[in-house]
Structure 1
Amino acid sequence: MISRRNFIHIFLVLVLTCLGYFNSTPTAQALGGKLPEINQPAPDFSLPTNTGDGKISLSDLRGKWVVVYFYPKDFTSGCTIEARRFQQDLPKYLEKNAQIIGISADDVDSHAEFCDSEGLKFPLLADTQGEVSKAYGSWMSFISSRHSFIIDPEGILRETFVKVNPNIHSQEVFARLQELQQKV
């Protein structure tokens, strides 16, 4: 049983995370652990998806650019705004051979409801134990931090975002994706 004090603490951390208060680099690294290194292989993962069609693995997406974004919780204001922006920009990402994947500690049923509610056409993966979030330095005791990563078609991590504003984040990621693709 969670005490009232612990419940209030958990609630405040969740609210502040969704509003973006824990997004500066020092805080994100201290709370979420060590971020994977740029220009190194991205940590592989295999997680269940909201569609109920099994799991999606990073290794299965070789040949595509992959945008992996971690977020705290389905149906919260900041997370909903961020998901809506990625959905709005999805056609541009698809034109650039890029797959968007959202990851949080919510289960597949919550993800399915969230996708249905918001009309999301990209997969949300359930990292209920936080193992993938930990591998990406994006875990804060019971929720994922708001971090994003761009991974190239060979599975190499090319960009990390830890100071994320949900309102403009998709635009920032897309602009950086275009820059990275021009270098190839």
Structure 2
Amino acid sequence: MTLSVKTIAPDFVAFDEEGKRVCLSEYKGKNIVLYFYPKDDTPGCTQEAQSFRDNYKKYEDKNIIIFGVSMDNQKSHKAFKEKLNLPFQLLVDEQGKLTDLYDVAGGDYSKRVTYIIDKEGVICHIDDKVITNTHAQDILEKMS
């Protein structure tokens, strides 16, 4: 399944770094940034997560929800989140179900791709040319 702009974002149920259930459809009415990244605690993924962390207040002020997703396990996500003091949830995708659902499989990891999902649950932007250290600012510009 190849996803594209103006298609309904596939619904999912996943669990975050604390084991809390997250269902995408429960966030209808909110703008969502769903960013897939290859691996916790690697240089590029750290830069990208820090970019979202450092701009989190701007996202919060615009009522935008951020979810990071990789195929790492809950323990890895929890350690990564704590180490970087991330204020948003990291979704566990150990089996690669979300990675497959969102067409970002890259073998044993997720490709670095970000989806912006509007209040109606429609994909309104896809970014697969991520510059990790400015990614959060780049996405905010697309949402303005």
TM range (shorter): over 0.9
| Distance in 2 of aligned mates of 1:35 and 1:165 | 23
The one-letter code matched in structure 2 to 1:51 is: E
Deviations 1:48-78 (A, max 9, x none): 101222x111111111100000000000000
1:118 aligns with 2:92: no
Aligned residue runs from structure 1 range 87-102, under 5 A = 87-102=53-68
- Aligned 1:66-81 pairs, distance under 5 A: 66-81=32-47
Contact kept in structure 2, 1:36 and 1:43, CA below 8 Å:
no
**1:49 is aligned with what amino acid?**
D
Map residues 46-57 of structure 1 onto 2, 5 A cutoff: 46-53=13-20, 55-57=21-23
Higher strand share: 2
For structure 1, which runs of at least 5 residues remain unmatched after alignment? 1-33, 179-184
The gaps in structure 2 that reach 5 residues or longer are none
Residue number in structure 2 paired with 1:173: 139
Judge which range, 157-166 or 134-143, deviates more.
Answer: 134-143
Cross-structure match for 1:135:
101
Aligned to 2:72: 106
| Structure with greater helix percent | 1
Return the index of the structure with the highest Cα Rg.
1
Provide the TM-score with structure 2 as the length reference. Answer: 0.97
**Paired residue for 1:182?**
none
Runs of 4+ with >4 A deviation:
none
Report the aligned-residue RMSD. Answer: 0.9
One-letter amino acid of the structure 1 residue matched with residue 101 of structure 2: A
Identity of paired residues, percent? 38
Are 1:38 and 2:23 counterparts?
A: no
Q: Distance in 2 between matches of 1:35 and 1:83?
A: 26
User: Does the 8 Å contact 1:102/1:123 carry over to 2?
Assistant: yes
The amino acid of 1:87's aligned partner reads R
Aligned residue pairs, count: 144
